[in-house]
A and B are shown apart, each in its own frame.
Chain A
Amino acid sequence: MTGFGGLSGSDLMLAEVGVIVALTALFAWLAGLVVRGLMRRENPQLAFAAQRLAIAVVVAVGAVLAIQELGVGPAALLLVIGLLAFAAILAVRVPLEKEGARFFAGIYSPFKVGDTIRVAGHAGRVIEINAMTTILLSEDDHRMIAFPNSTFLGQPVENLTPHAWKEVVVPITLAGSVDLAEFENAMLKSLSKLRLRLDPRFPPIFTVRSRSAQGSDVVLTVMVRRPEDREPVLAEVNLRVSEELARGRAAPPKPSAPSTTRPRDLS
């Protein structure tokens, strides 16, 4: 049996699925662009996550439409997807909550490792921020106090570190294809234009938290001159980081490794 334009029913169905896939890809790309544009002044990591989420939602809707086109009932499909999502959320609820708390704390929390803070009646030096907890060392150096990261979203936190208010910390994830030295160089040049708003004693500094072939986790720290500059400086730094990331600076080829690497002599 042939249908429209001489195509069989199954051919037509596949063509329609193809169109849905193409449109989904187009809308996903557009959604990514729109979200990135809207979040230009937000933290680059957060903007990236939101961009990925927007793309994922569009892709999910497209997938549902495409599968429906293949003859699977939408109600049954949605039920299966819903049950899978519910099970997944139940399984990872606690880690997800903690990871979410850590993610947002990493971007928005007003302290970092090394700072002295007071929270929930305890004061101490932050010695670790991991996926689940933030660990404080008591002021007498004798006790470790662990707080679930979610604590910091629901409790007032006091940072007792001198000049802590000056610090604007921006975590950045660089893909392995980005040349860290070039990126840092471009950012330092860019940020020197904000010098009037920044403490002259503390030029911006990058700290590499981890580095592998896949990429680098770095932290950019700038110190503002006045408390009221924190928010606008943060937005401006986020914008400049996002723009620089969008430019993309390719890493140069690595020099060849020495050929005489030998096993260690542990004698």
Chain B
Amino acid sequence: MAKMRLLVNTQTPLVQFLRNPAGARSPAWPAEVDLTRLKEGADYRFSPGGVTRMVYPLIRRLTSEGGLEEAHWVSLNPNAPSTVRLPGMTLHHVGIDPERMAGYGTTKEAIWATAHGIVGKGSSEGLFWTDDATEYTFYNRTTAMRIRELDADLDFDLFYIHDFQQLPVGQMLGTLKPKLFRWHIPFDVASIPDSWRPIFRRYLSAYDRIVVSSDRYRRELERLGHRSDVVRLYPYIDPAEYQIRPGAAEVQAVCEKFGIPRKATVGLVVARMDPTKGQDRALEALADVKVALPDLRLVFVGNGSFSSSKGGVGLSKSERWRARLEERARVAGVSDRVLFTGHVTQAELDALYARSDFTILPSVNEGFGLVVVESWIHRRPALVTDRAGVAELIEDGENGLLFDPDHPTALARQMRRIVQDDGALRRRLVEGGRRSARACSLETAARQEREVFEHLVEA
């Protein structure tokens, strides 16, 4: 097929700019910036999370394979240059003023919290009639208009829109060209207020194909009454981005930096600081096993998302959640057994995986759970909540240990199981995880995504 021009749209930008203390779009930034002339860590950093882990490697892979002529990426980034160029890709940033941003943030947090089952659907019933929701619409309209302007110049072949924050964009684009939507967060019809269902159906029907992260979400979309094409593609990572076996010196350095005792048994929890990530469940389980497993330490890695960071939508949810976790640890008498590292570099994360004895994904609800795949490629046994999309890939005792996050004793039991194991279970889990990781590798995903693209563009 001819090379295609792809437009990607996510809320979270690929890069966050560090050097802009003024807050609003600073005149210090020219309208267009070449990222290769800036310094990572000093001028900018890649956004943590799925956007950087998935979409960016995918675009690079498809470009290097000759499938993409060029890629353009539109995202929300008020504190950034309007246009940023990097090899094979151009980033376009949309900004809205702080008042609108607050309304947008409130609305999308409400959608997110409802989808994750954190708030009852009754309290979200009238969300789309609020003034805040008009800012959600405003942001999406602004984004759609920007995309249309770019399309007028660049004549894209495919629009790839990502996640619930951008859901209305497909309907707003008003183009006959193929539109693909990827839904990343959990999707459970039962948790969605009745009044939202026609809205979701209307917006989803504007897309030619929907991609979801698990078979369960595909069935839920059918239950919603969505009739068009839905395909399940597992999220993925590029193993080449990870240093699977860091040197002993690097591991020792990271242990010293974060104060991890030499002889401790380490359970690693890699997740954004957020109530849905269930760090509190891990703390409760730790309290349950503190006598039985006196050497066990839990290391919590991660801080806020783009939305909850100061440079993003401006909420401080992550700081509040961490303070609550520290208080809970104190009350449960396990303060001396937990460590909070905050944000770590990729090299430090690799070293922490290497130092860990097992990993835990304790989320209350999780769209997929790529950290389990990271755990697999680092050859670490994974204890996984059964509320994660990745859980449908796990056979308990073969490639992971499953637990119900609402029952701390279930996680505590799995902790005892892995820590007190004589080695046979660990070997089985590591080997099973290594095999399962292939289904979630960039290699597999690039082929599948390319097939989805081609299906739409050549249909």
Contact = CB atoms under 8 A, between A and B. Distances in A.
Contacts of B82: 255-256
A189 interface: yes
Interface string A168-201: 0000000000001110110011001001000011
B131 A267 contact: no
Given A180-B141, A195-B129, A259 B134 contact: no
Given A192-B129, A267-B2, A254 B138 contact: no
Contacts of A265: 2-3, 69
Interface stretch (A45-53, A123-131, A206-214): A206-214
B410 interface: no
A121 interface: no
20 contacts: A188-B134, A192-B129, A195-B129, A200-B129, A200-B195, A201-B194, A201-B197, A201-B198, A201-B199, A203-B128, A205-B171, A211-B148, A211-B174, A257-B149, A257-B153, A258-B92, A258-B150, A258-B153, A264-B5, A264-B69
A152 B24 CA distance: 54
B145 A202 contact: no
A2 interface: no
Given A192-B131, A211-B174, A258-B90, A184 B141 contact: yes
Nearest to B196: A201
Interface of B is mostly: helix
Interface in B196-218: 197-199, 202
A266 interface: yes
Contacts of A261: 153-154
B156 to A, nearest CB: 11
A17 B148 CA distance: 49
A185 B138 contact: yes
B126 interface: yes
Nearest to A202: B198
A189 B153 contact: no
B135 A185 contact: yes
A184 B69 contact: no
B36 to A, nearest CB: 14
Interface of A: 180-182, 184-185, 188-189, 192, 195, 200-203, 205-209, 211, 254-262, 264-267
Interface string B82-97: 1101000010100000
B85 to A, nearest CB: 8
Contact count band on B: 35 or more
Contact of B134 (A189, A195, A260): A189
Contacts of A255: 31, 82-83, 92, 146, 149
Nearest to A188: B134
Contacts of B195: 200-201
Contacts of B194: 201
Contacts of A207: 171, 174
A239 to B, nearest CB: 19
Contacts of B145: 180-181
B32 interface: yes
A214 to B, nearest CB: 14
A184 B148 contact: no
Given A180-B141, A258-B154, A200 B126 contact: yes
B439 interface: no
A128 to B, nearest CB: 14
Contacts of B133: 188, 203
B2 A205 contact: no
Contacts of A184: 137-138, 141
A192 B150 CA distance: 32
Contacts of B444: none
B172 interface: yes
Contacts of B150: 257-258
A205 B202 contact: yes
Contact of A266 (B2, B134, B141): B2
Which of A180, A188, A257, A265 has the most chain B CB atoms closer than 10 A to its own CB?
A: A188
A255 B134 CA distance: 23
A265 B197 CA distance: 42
B174 A188 contact: no
A257 B82 CA distance: 10
Given A184-B141, A255-B82, A265-B2, A209 B126 contact: no
B373 to A, nearest CB: 35
B137 A208 contact: no
Contacts of A259: 32
Which of B32, B134, B137, B171 has the most chain A CB atoms closer than 10 A to its own CB?
A: B134
A42 B146 CA distance: 33
A151 B125 CA distance: 43
A115 to B, nearest CB: 15
Contact of A208 (B31, B92, B172): B172
B265 interface: no
Contacts of A257: 149-150, 153
Contacts of A189: 131, 134
Contacts of B129: 192, 195, 200, 203
Contacts of B243: none
Nearest to B172: A208
Nearest to A255: B82
A241 to B, nearest CB: 16
B125 to A, nearest CB: 8
A28 B85 CA distance: 53
Contacts of A180: 141, 145
Contacts of A188: 133-134, 137
A258 B195 CA distance: 41
B422 to A, nearest CB: 58
A254 B82 CA distance: 11
A217 B5 CA distance: 28
A256 B153 CA distance: 11
Contacts of A185: 134-135, 137-138, 141
B98 to A, nearest CB: 15
B436 interface: no
A264 B155 contact: yes
